[in-house]
Structure 1
Amino acid sequence: MDAAFNEETFEMENPPIRVLHLLQRMEPAGVQSFLMNLYRDIDRSKVQFDFLVHYKEHQFYDDEIEQMGGRIYKLSVREDYNLVAYARELRTFFSQHREYSVLHGHMETLSGIWMVEAERAGIPTRIAHSHTAGFGKGPKAIVRELFRYQYPRHATDLFACSKAAGDFMFPGKGYRLIPNAIEVEKFSFRKDVRKDVRLELGIDRDAFVVGSVGRFHASKNYSFLIEVMKKLSSLKDNCVLLLVGDGSERSHLEDKVHELGLEKVVRFLGKRQDVHRLYQSFDAFVLPSRYEGLPLVGIEAQASGCPSFFSTGVSAETGITDLATFLPLDGGLDAWARAIADADAPFSREDYASVVANAGYDVHGLADDMARFYLERSTPAGTVSPEGVMA
């Protein structure tokens, strides 16, 4: 008689391959949200994600990662910025963790060190993934420019969230487009959710609500958005701006709100776990970034059926529905305010989730594709030699 199938034994004998993602930290930002969308949907009996990050502090997604079986390794480079020690720490890490045959990198910063150490350790698949189409200005931008040219040099595969991001980070090189996919049905518009969220936030049902979601960073240009709200408030009564997120620019933005007398107009909601619900309460989504690759929040807003206004610094590929409007930052505050005010016209929001899914931004299909890629590129744990050949 054949032995009964033992699922537990099968899983022990066929553990999932582990993919190592390298990035700054698992904070609630675009790249991290994209990775978590993928991680939640991928078949974790076959592919598990681990994370090598550069900040010691506990981060927004750490608990969820560990609940799903992921491991988080935290480097110490941010403590003293000793790059020699950083290279040594990486070398030790890769020598102690020979289970990884796929390294998926999401930051060009320091890539001249971490990508080199990964290659030296013999990791056969090393992915450089571009998530941005610009760096802005200033000393940090200069440093990032230096690393931009090193990023693809020791990679085996190049990925980009958009053509703009790929052409910027990997000029003249071939790369694979990986859409910033979302769990589309989660963002589908529901009238009852809209009503509930406004009630929870104490917002009038007839208020005109503008929203934006993202890190409070200079690149996001939220100071400009606050100035636009000053103009919009003169055009429409009962306007509200909901800013969802946090970051280094928060105190500056709060000062700006006070300076313009918009304390009753602008509300800071901080980091939220229920962003998908908050979109339902918006009448307009606005992202006036100085530069963007393909912002995940722009896809989410359109999936919720929300009229969406982007600066021309945002990749045109973000406009996947007729809800998207692109405006130049030098077009003036009045032009932005009037365009947003016109979004108040009644229309149906219910059908846009399917439009976004049909455009290829549903994470279910992407998760299957990425699982196949990772599995094809994986090798049995412990079989990769320092020279990168099978032992």
Structure 2
Amino acid sequence: MSRLESGGVESVLLNYLGHFTHPEDFDIHIVTQDINDERCLQTFREAGYNIDVVTHKKKSILKNVVEVRRLLRRERFDVVHSHMTLMNFYVLFLASLTGSRLRISHSHNAFRSSNLLKLAFWSALKPLNKWFANQWFACGREAGIFLFGKHAVDSGKVTILPNAIDLGKFEYNPIARASIRKEFGIGEKDFVVGHVGRFMDQKNHKYLIDIFSSLVEKRPDSWLILVGTGELEKQIQDYVAECGLMDRVIFVGSVDNVNDYYQAMDVFALPSKFEGLPVVSIEAQAADLPVLISANVDCSCALTDNVKFTSVDLAPSVWADELLGMAGRSRGTEVQKRLQKAGYDIQTEAGRLEALYRNAGER
């Protein structure tokens, strides 16, 4: 993986690997070129996984390749599962040279750009990600189409491995809701907008702050809870201060109990510039939250009637009005059955991946 932090890919890995029926049968290595969150590192280690850190490609491509190849030769992995989307190919090529039986190229994103040079570069990388893998995975339809093509997805050549979660953990909990709100001095009837995501350009935090600024003008008792860390966190904090909203925006950071923060929210906003199928959208729905998502996100993440899609090209006030229109809805637990039926219960889905890994090791 590209980096180790509390985020989407890391959550998917922990959810799946942590729900294997017989984890003792596997020797699992998490290979990363960066560690952005020591808490996340500790979580993986406590779960019993080996953490191997290699030189970042941005520092030295040659050292990165040499260190990855050395690791693959030393460990002789049965399975190499790469989660770097466009950059999966070189790890899987090295894995093919060292005898790995199962080489999975996993697409977690559906990148968008109007930059012709970038588009040409992507077009050159996509075939490589198909050639050096013998299994193609994606978190959702759009992510699959992005990396492997529409025909590959429609013909069933791409395995859709849903970003399944522990549904019960996110079930609506009024006690947790009251506890989090009390901790931050949020009134029982105040309006809380929530967002969970890494502070990076993709997540569009500046636009989210503009949305919230417009919202506060319409409803002064509004709050914004931001869960996550990232390279743009300080920049966004400065922008919040510039907008005079520091007393209304809560920067939570990286937490182990993100499920409790969903309970404290009234609506969930995800104005991303692009996504695959974001795990946070599933978590928010599991908490029975109304969810407002960017139209750039895979629409198949809408598993309940509580999801609406809106363009991020619109004025922030449009999003603010949409969020206000979602206010006041009662929440419950019936949504859990719907998500389970849609294939997002990790208790069931983890068995699919475990069987695939096991079969590779027994060949």
Fold conserved between structures, TM > 0.5 = yes
2:208 partner letter: L
Mean Cα displacement is larger for which, 40-49 or 327-336? 40-49
Which of structures 1 and 2 has the bigger CA Rg? 1
The count of corresponding residues between Structure 1 and Structure 2 is 356
Alignment of 1:41-60 (within 5 A): 41-43=19-21, 44-55=23-34, 59-60=38-39
SS class of match (1:60)? helix
SS class of match (1:292)? coil
2:178 to 195, 218, 225: 195
Alignment of 1:323-338 (within 5 A): 323-338=306-321
Deviations 1:83-118 (A, max 9, x none): 2333322222222112x1111110135434322111
Cα pair 2:289 2:331 within 8 Å, conserved: no
Residue 319, structure 1, aligned to residue 282, structure 2: no
The Cα shift of 1:193 comes to 1.2
Mean Cα displacement is larger for which, 178-187 or 257-266? 257-266
SS class of match (1:286)? strand
The Cα shift of 1:331 comes to 2.8
Mean Cα displacement is larger for which, 168-177 or 180-189? 168-177
The Cα shift of 1:57 comes to 6.7
Partner Cα distance (1:87, 1:50) in 2: 17
1:115 partner letter: L
1:208 partner letter: F
Residue 376, structure 1, aligned to residue 359, structure 2: yes
2:134 partner letter: T
Alignment of 1:1-391 (within 5 A): 23-43=1-21, 44-55=23-34, 59-78=38-57, 80-81=59-60, 83-98=61-76, 100-136=77-113, 146-171=124-149, 172-173=151-152, 174-379=157-362
Aligned to 1:7: none
Kindly tell me: are residues 80 and 218 of structure 1, through their superposed partners in 2, closer, same or farther at Cα, counting changes over 3 Å?
Answer: closer
TM superposition score normalised by structure 2 = 0.92
Cα pair 1:162 1:178 within 8 Å, conserved: yes
The Cα shift of 1:358 comes to 2.1
Aligned to 1:17: none
Partner Cα distance (1:284, 1:141) in 2: 35
SS class of match (1:371)? helix
In the alignment, structure 1 segments of 5+ residues that lack a partner are 1-22, 381-391
1:102 partner letter: V
Mean Cα displacement is larger for which, 35-44 or 315-324? 35-44
Partner Cα distance (1:91, 1:348) in 2: 51
Cα pair 1:103 1:125 within 8 Å, conserved: yes
The Cα shift of 1:77 comes to 3.6
Partner Cα distance (1:199, 1:354) in 2: 30
Mean Cα displacement is larger for which, 275-284 or 369-378? 369-378
Large movers: runs of 4+ above 6 Å: 137-142
TM superposition score normalised by structure 1 = 0.86
**What percent of counterpart residues are identical?**
29
The Cα shift of 1:185 comes to 0.1
Mean Cα displacement is larger for which, 226-235 or 329-338? 329-338
SS class of match (1:87)? helix
Cα pair 1:159 1:178 within 8 Å, conserved: yes
Kindly tell me: are residues 77 and 328 of structure 1, through their superposed partners in 2, closer, same or farther at Cα, counting changes over 3 Å?
Answer: closer
Aligned to 1:16: none
Partner Cα distance (1:373, 1:239) in 2: 47
SS class of match (1:331)? coil
Cα pair 2:198 2:228 within 8 Å, conserved: yes
Partner Cα distance (1:257, 1:84) in 2: 40
